[in-house]
Chain A
Amino acid sequence: MRIYRWLLRYAAPQLDREYGDAMEDALDARLADARALGAIAYTRTWVREVAALAGVAISDRVDPVARERRRRRRAHSRGKATLMGTLIQDVRHAARRLAHSPAFTSASILTLALAVGANTAIFAVVERIVINPLPYPDSDRLFELDHGSAALRMTAGMGTTQGLYYHYQERARAIESMALYRTSDQTLTGDGNPERIRVTRATPSLSTVMRVPPAVGRWFSEDEGRPGAADVAVLSHALWTRRYGRDPNVVGQSITLGGRPLEVIGVMPPAFSFPEPRVDVWAPSQLSRATGFGLWEHAGVARLREGWSYDAGRSELQALIPGVVQAFPDDPLAAGNVQSTQLIFAGRLLKDATLGAVSRALWILLGSVGIVLLVACANVANLFLVRAEVRQREVAIRRTLGAGGAALGRYFLSESVVLSTAGGALGLVLAWGGLRLLVRLGPTTLPRLHEVHLDAVGVAYGALLSLAAAILFGTIPLWRSRALTPSLHEQGRASTTARPRHRARHLLLGAQVALALVLLVASGLMLRSFHNLRAVDPGFDEASALTFSIGLPDNKYSTLDGAVTAHQALIDRLSALPGVRAVSGTTCLPLSGGCTGNTVRVEGVVYPEGEIPPLAMFRAVTGGYFETMGVRVLRGRSITRDDVDRQAPVAVISDALAKRAFPNEDPIGRRMASNQPPRPGLETRFTWLEVVGVVANTPVRAVNEPRPMPYLYTPLSIARGPDVPMSAMIAPSASVLSFVLRSNVPPLDLVPAARQAVYAFDEDLALAQIITLEEMLNRASAQMAFTMVLLVIAAVVALVLGVIGISGVMFYIVSQRTSEIGVRLALGAEPRLVAGHILWQGGLVAIGGIVVGLCGAFASSGLIGAVLYGVSPRDPVVFGGTALLLLVVALLACWLPARRAARLSPLVALRTE
């Protein structure tokens, strides 16, 4: 409404003064009516009302009554020529002049609007996601507690153990507060349908570290974080809304998670989504220093103490690591994990960890829309130059009559201010619409993308850009006008337009071509990267397959046998569904992270002291898993249902593990085992598994992993049962299984029947993470697709602006030289040669721009390298192809004006004056 009033004030000031309030009231009523009809009707009404103001503005100026009234008022107020008054008058005159050349005005405004809109939209995204990605107070001081191992060649990603947590807590001065957490999926039962939800178990300190208190009720206390305390839960705002209808009385009630009761003590505010958006319940991790160093099963987050830099804190923690061996003298795990692995502290600032490569991509995008803005400015400046030349006589007369530089400056600047204001306003509207589209289409992995909108900062940025643009293209013709001054003595019939006069325009054109080329090269490289990424063989067949996971509650399925029997029964029921060709299950799908991993032993191989045995990710599978997933068996055989039924001690390993553990040897028939944590006073016993097959590699997190992770697959029936703690056996838990359904029908059509079948088996079970394999693969490349699409849009806009610029200026040059061309044609010049001359002139400018652009793209290739995949940032095909494409497009843009020149009739041409 404020926008409407603001526009109205400019469109028809008189109307605004007299009836502004009443109109606001009427518009309110109208919009309220439209809103009742739906969003489309509402938007249409809004757009129609705002657009109609243009008509009102024109009619207000045309209307004789209104004009007369204005004239009288102006005459009345003449004499008090204040600075403000002069400014307003300048702007008014400029607006009138612009209204007289609608083609120039609308072209300039549209060009500017496109550029300002694109810049403002991308800036809003960058501002929200990159500059301020975490919705926690002082989030710049938060960092993750993560470790890596020099010996295992893992730079990061191991997480942390409780031993390190207590050790840091006791000694680190750089840390103000810290928390451990781990996230798993559990089934919520009671009050309605069972639901698989994400649960984060955290130390009670998490709320302090994040500095976010619950919105309702309280967070868990220190006592509730000790072993044996009553279990409590804090709900997410989303779960509270979805399942409990925001009932505040839910605090104090009991919920059942994985078959165990928890008392609800609080609800977090909507913005709190640590460590990930899907978490629905936070419950206390019940840890105790007495249990020793512990396993790498936690993630950690810490807050840097005021006055410490992150680098200093990081160095302190790294220096503290060796001391953990003395801190846990009785625990051999501490020594084993710290010394032989050469543990390194690998935490990153939470901001950087959350954003990953996104921030680089977004900065590149911001840079590229900045280039688009420059191209747009060059375009408008060129249009301005053309206008300036057309009006050189007018300017010359003004000068002769005593107009100083300042007055002339005002003359041009006021036009550019009016244009950029209009362009900027339209650009903000475009940015607003573009952002809504962007938020809808953007990948879900971008943090806070859904919060992006056009706020005051974005509007200010757009306004600033418009102002900068106004100054940029407003001063260029001014600088040219100095050179134009003497032209008054030139007679009217001049217009063979001397060469230097074109130089500025040619420079601007060349710059446009160069900038467009840089963007085209960047988007070409992204296109190739994306193509490469999609061409990577993920190691499985993604077509027509549905997956979902089912977790069995521990209280009902408390043994390994019970869990395996239940999963097999579910597989049998799911296999019987119509449209299902095959069903199998795994404890961890590709692209869903590492899940469980450990170092492995090979029978008969003794690793020298200090050398770490090979590392492998473990997956327990049911029979026919590789066949159902479409994972190629390279050697030997796969795991069968018979292996599962017999609890056969067999293993299938991935190609990467075969190469690492058995270099140049045949692994079939050899025996391997998961390394067991050493226990004081007990001899380590290994459960040996015979290697029966080798299968293709599959990705852990992203399809473009530089080194494939080694995998070890076992039958589900020898995985870890619900009654065995992880500390006793490092193996995947058999309780949670991801099912894969290969189907003849569209996979998502199977969901209702699958849900029914699972419900019929046990009504406390719920399907979670329902997704097709294809979608899973798409999500793995969504971020690159997002960057690519935006870059391509920016490049295409730059190209289109460039083409319009070249073509427009060449047309202008032809029209300026009409009489010259006429003379040439009359004297017998070949039309073909005349056209060739024009084409050559344009082509020369284009080639110059292309050469400069190639150099620019070459120089800036380092910037984009980080977001590319499988293509050199200086790929000759992309560089060459783009240059050629741009040359062809530029020549095409010159061809039309050239053809017009060739077709000029000498008589008509000579008559033109």
Chain B
Amino acid sequence: MAPLSDSTFYVLLVLGEGPAHGYAISKAVEAQSGGRLAPTTGALYQLLQRLVAAGLIAPADAPAGTDPRRKYFALTALGRKAAAAEAQRLEGLVRTARKRKLYPQGA
């Protein structure tokens, strides 16, 4: 499986906590990336659209009482697998880096 893009991985991570709507995802991505990623509404929804098309996430039911316009998204089984694979890949990279003393233990 090809490596996931940075923002894709963050979206999957955010949805790992449970279904969320667009703006909440956007804010969580910004917070978790330490402000490095701050997707605009347009870019975020374009990404979400592609992830839905790729089957990594799927539209989910909104909790009762929210704005009917608001769309919720949840991780699919495939998405969960993709996120796990990506994490594994990154872990592998970290392990290699440690082995070569590029990233000392505990840092």
Binding site for B on A (CB under 8 A): 8, 11-12, 14-15, 18-19, 21-27, 29-30, 48-49, 52-53, 55-56, 59-60, 63, 65-66
Contact = CB atoms under 8 A, between A and B. Distances in A.
Nearest to A52: B40
A8 B41 CA distance: 11
Given A26-B22, A26-B26, A65-B50, A21 B43 contact: no
Nearest to A29: B23
Contacts of B43: 52, 55-56
A53 B22 CA distance: 16
Contact of A24 (B26, B53, B69): B69
B89 interface: no
A19 B21 contact: no
B71 interface: yes
Interface string B19-34: 0011100100000000
Contacts of A59: 46
6 contacts: A15-B42, A18-B49, A19-B49, A22-B71, A52-B42, A65-B53
B36 to A, nearest CB: 16
A284 to B, nearest CB: 56
Contact of A23 (B42, B50, B53): B42
A11 B42 contact: yes
Given A26-B45, A29-B23, A60-B46, 6 more contacts: A14-B49, A22-B70, A22-B71, A25-B23, A25-B69, A63-B50
B67 interface: yes
Contacts of B54: 65
A904 B22 CA distance: 57
A27 B41 contact: yes
A52 B70 CA distance: 21
Which of B41, B43, B48 has the largest number of chain A CB atoms within 10 A?
A: B41
Contacts of A48: 40
A55 B48 CA distance: 15
A492 B70 CA distance: 59
Contacts of B53: 65
Contact of B22 (A14, A22, A49, A55): A22
Interface string B54-89: 100000000000010111000000000000000000
The 4 A-B residue pairs with the shortest CB-CB distance, nearest first, are A52-B40, A22-B71, A26-B22, A26-B23
A21 B43 CA distance: 15
Contacts of B22: 19, 22-23, 25-26
A49 B41 contact: yes
B27 to A, nearest CB: 8
A49 B42 contact: yes
A23 B41 CA distance: 6
Contacts of A22: 21-22, 45, 69-71
Given A8-B42, A49-B40, A26 B21 contact: yes
B57 to A, nearest CB: 13
A15 B23 contact: no
A11 B49 CA distance: 15
Contacts of A18: 49
B44 to A, nearest CB: 8
Which of B40, B43, B67, B69 has the largest number of chain A CB atoms within 10 A?
A: B40
Contacts of A15: 42, 45-46, 49
Nearest to A25: B69
A25 B21 CA distance: 10
A759 B99 CA distance: 82
Given A22-B71, A65-B50, A53 B23 contact: no
Which of B46, B54, B67 has the largest number of chain A CB atoms within 10 A?
A: B46
A568 B96 CA distance: 92
A30 B42 contact: no
Contacts of A14: 49
B7 to A, nearest CB: 12
A144 to B, nearest CB: 55
Contacts of B49: 14-15, 18-19
Which of B42, B44, B50, B71 has the largest number of chain A CB atoms within 10 A?
A: B42
A29 to B, nearest CB: 4
A280 B104 CA distance: 75
Given A25-B69, A48-B40, A52-B40, A30 B46 contact: no
B12 to A, nearest CB: 18
B69 A21 contact: yes
Contacts of A27: 41
Contacts of B44: 26
A14 B53 CA distance: 12
A53 B42 contact: yes
A55 B54 CA distance: 21
Contacts of A24: 69
A26 B42 CA distance: 10
A58 to B, nearest CB: 11
A598 B50 CA distance: 85
A11 B42 CA distance: 10
Nearest to B39: A52
A55 B41 CA distance: 12
Contacts of B40: 48-49, 52
Contacts of B26: 26, 30
A26 B39 CA distance: 12
Contact of B45 (A19, A30, A65, A66): A19
Nearest to B49: A15
B38 to A, nearest CB: 9
Nearest to A51: B40
Contacts of B46: 12, 15, 56, 59-60
A241 to B, nearest CB: 36
B41 A30 contact: yes
A60 B42 CA distance: 11
A65 B22 CA distance: 22
Contacts of B45: 15, 19, 22-23, 26
A733 to B, nearest CB: 65
A25 B42 contact: no
B23 A19 contact: no
A19 B71 CA distance: 8
A275 B79 CA distance: 71
Given A8-B42, A30-B26, A55-B43, A25 B48 contact: no
Contacts of A30: 23, 26, 41
A19 B48 contact: yes
B72 to A, nearest CB: 9
A870 to B, nearest CB: 55
Contacts of B41: 23, 26-27, 30, 49, 52
A484 B8 CA distance: 52
Contacts of A52: 40-43
A15 B42 CA distance: 9
Contacts of A56: 42-43, 46
A21 B21 CA distance: 12
A14 to B, nearest CB: 8
A14 B50 CA distance: 11
Nearest to A53: B42
A53 B39 CA distance: 12
A436 B21 CA distance: 36
A27 B42 CA distance: 9
Contacts of B48: 19
A286 B26 CA distance: 69
A512 B86 CA distance: 60
Contacts of B21: 22, 25-26
A573 to B, nearest CB: 59
Nearest to A48: B40
A68 to B, nearest CB: 11
A95 to B, nearest CB: 18
B55 to A, nearest CB: 12
B50 A25 contact: no
Contacts of A53: 42
A8 B44 CA distance: 13
A55 B69 contact: no
Contacts of A19: 22, 45, 48-49, 71
A19 B40 CA distance: 14
Nearest to B44: A26
